[in-house]
Structure 1
């Protein structure tokens, strides 16, 4: 039977799986790119990487909004019966925190470029000019949003590490299907 794009009661469908892994790849890549771009001595290369970072940030924001909309229309499979009460309560809160950080982080970056006194336009993938958020430009605002973006990035990565650790715990210690169902899609008959 062919794999389904939507979730079933026991597994995720292709839509959820592709969005999950694409967002994960971009989110982790953005963290690495952010670390690299602020440490470069070449201003030209740093500028180009910052523009790329902004482009992927806007893409990430759009994808996470799509992911949340997709999630609202596709119920997640139930957790295995072996999952305890505390974990059943914590899992939705952990996912909500991941979604919140994945929205807050690119929004804080957008706010940062919007308040910058340098007034360098954001052009995602050189396709169009992304308008700035309606925020006042100032050095103080730029410092605030730079710090917020930095703290959100590290907190977001900490959440990702916890998320990965939980998935690996399910796979190797508990030996349930929590990880594999995010890799292998549901079939139409499940």
Structure 2
């Protein structure tokens, strides 16, 4: 095995990690899309968006839990040596926040759904409210405000995450983004790497 191939293996995420990452990206985009359009909806249109939003949110929560367990069993890949310690620290902080939001935003959504006056038909199969009756049904507006704030903050960190990946791809021209796409520059060696914590 060549040194280049060894370096590529060391820095690239596993197939499962990449698959979960991009699946999560699609689900998060769908959940945010269905969530943000509900402000201008009512009646059956709102009920339909609630079903879509809650379904995507529950999938995000499920995938987030799976990703946490996967990362515990399979430590994350390494950053190229061109990444400074400050950049590595920033990446760790943003990733930590993203994991917090991937878990926290759906949970605040469940908390808000428990007090909703409309049925929240997750996957068009069951009313989510019936499974979380222990959360109570009061203060819906406050619960919704907390969930909306969490979604807005999540979006900010997603923009930071995407922006950082694009900066590394087009400005620094290193392998940070390619680790998650599975593609490597031909003939590029990463050498010594900095271990990414998250």
Alignment match, 2:193: none
2:108–2:143: 8 Å Cα contact kept in structure 1?
yes
| Correspondences of 1:69-148 after superposition (within 5 Å) | 69-116=69-116, 118=117, 120=119, 122-130=120-128, 131-132=131-132, 134-138=134-138, 140=139, 142-148=140-146
In the alignment, structure 2 segments of 5+ residues that lack a partner are 1-7, 185-198
Contact 1:13 1:185 (C-alpha < 8 Å) held by counterparts: no
Report if aligned partners of 2:47, 2:118 keep a CA contact under 8 Å in 1: no
Runs of 4+ in 1 over 6 A off after TM superposition: none
Distance 1:161 1:133, change over 3 A: farther
1:7-35 CA-to-partner distances (Å, cap 9, x unmatched) read 94211111111111111111122111112
Aligned to 1:32: 33
Among candidates 163, 166, 170, match of residue 164 of structure 2? 166
Query: Does the alignment pair 1:43 with 2:43?
Result: yes
In structure 2, the residue matched to 1:21 is: 22
CA distance in 1, matches of 2:47, 2:154: 24
Aligned position for 1:4: none
The normalised TM-score by structure 1 is 0.85
SS at match of 2:78: coil
- 1:184 is matched with 182
* 1: CA distance, partners of 2:75 / 2:87: 18
Deviation of 1:181 after TM superposition, in Å, equals: 1.3
Shift of the 172–100 alpha-carbon distance from structure 1 to 2, 3 Å rule, reads: same
Distance 1:67 1:153 in 2: 20
Alignment partners' CA distance in 1, 2:178 and 2:26: 18
| C-alpha distance 71-32 of structure 1, shift in aligned 2 (>3 A) | same
Q: Secondary structure at the match of 2:135?
A: coil
Pick the structure with more strand per residue.
2
Residue of structure 2 equivalent to 1:10: 11
Residue ranges of structure 1 left out of the alignment (5+ in a row): 1-6
